Amino acid sequence: MILDQFSLTGRVALVTGGSRGLGQGLALALAEAGADVALLDRGSAQETVRQIEDLGRRAVTVECDLLGADADDLQGVVQSVVGSLGRLDILVNNAGIIRREPALEFSESSWDDVLDVNLRAVFFLSQAAARVMRDTGGGKIINVASMLSFQGGILVPSYTAAKSAVAGLTRALANEWSALGINVNAIAPGYMATDNTAPLRADEERAAAILGRIPAGRWGTPDDLQGIIVFLASQASAYVHGAIVPVDGGWLTR
């Protein structure tokens, strides 16, 4: 039956930035579909753990600050997840940071910090996960890209550079790892009502301009990503490789 292909029963997922916002919504969707979930965050993710356990699934936390984490640290994260939950089938690279400054004044630290978390950590955590997946018959790696994987944005040069690179990295890894049974894809959320967009939503003029361009007529929510994350994490997407899937209320059509 086709719905059986969407089941994640018996699978283990690792979601970065799972304590709130989009990451929390993605983690809960995977748990609702049957997966046990490890949550990587720099702080407590106990509320997400509680909600996952209320669904009857196992949940563990791995505390790690991706800002400054090196390849060995991220290899250790994956080993910790396998040690706690027995396997790793799904990686969701969701965690990210943003810095807003005019390009003429953009600081070196704002550049380096964003690239470190949003790109460097994505690659080395994917590498560590893929080594496990290669040896266990395959898996799913799902990156969280952005509308700024397609567009330039305003006042966010390092974020745009990182998210554009995430889209390219998704395709590059799909080219190498598809034959290993590893699907690498990305979700590109549109303008979502999260902490990252709070400054935009607080700016009445900018918020009105953004909302006026979204054909769906509203900001997105974490719930809007639940269907696509389950699809990309499941057997239903077995022949989907290297896709960057916009979930944007139609923003890119305008």
Domains annotated on the chain, with CATH? 2-245 (3.40.50.720)
Cα separation, 156 vs 159, whole angstroms: 5
Instruction: Read off the pLDDT of each residue in 201-210 and give the average, rounded to a whole number.
Output: 92
Residues designated as active site: 159
**By the 8 A CB rule, do 149 and 164 touch?**
yes
Task: Please report the pLDDT score of residue 245 as a whole number.
Answer: 98
What percent of the chain is modeled with pLDDT above 70? Answer: 100
> CA angle, 75 as apex, 131 and 55 as ends, to 5°?
85
What is the predicted pLDDT for the residue at 1?
A: 87
- What distance in Å separates the CA atoms of residue 37 and residue 55, rounded to the nearest whole number? 11
Reported as a single tens digit per residue, the pLDDT across 213-253 is 999 999 999 999 999 999 999 999 999 999 999 999 999 99
The predicted pLDDT at position 212 comes to: 94
Whether 192 shows a pLDDT value over 90: the answer reads yes
pLDDT in tens, 38-89: 999 998 899 999 999 999 999 999 999 999 999 999 999 999 999 999 999 9
Q: Report which of residues 196 and 141 the model is more confident about.
A: 141
Cα(113)–Cα(27) distance, integer angstroms: 25
Whole-Å CA distances, 254 to 118, 147, 229: 27, 13, 25
pLDDT of amino acid 17: 96
Q: What is the pTM of this model?
A: 0.97
What's the pLDDT band for 200 if we cut at 50, 70, 90?
confident
Is residue 114 within 8 A of residue 99, CB to CB? The reply is yes
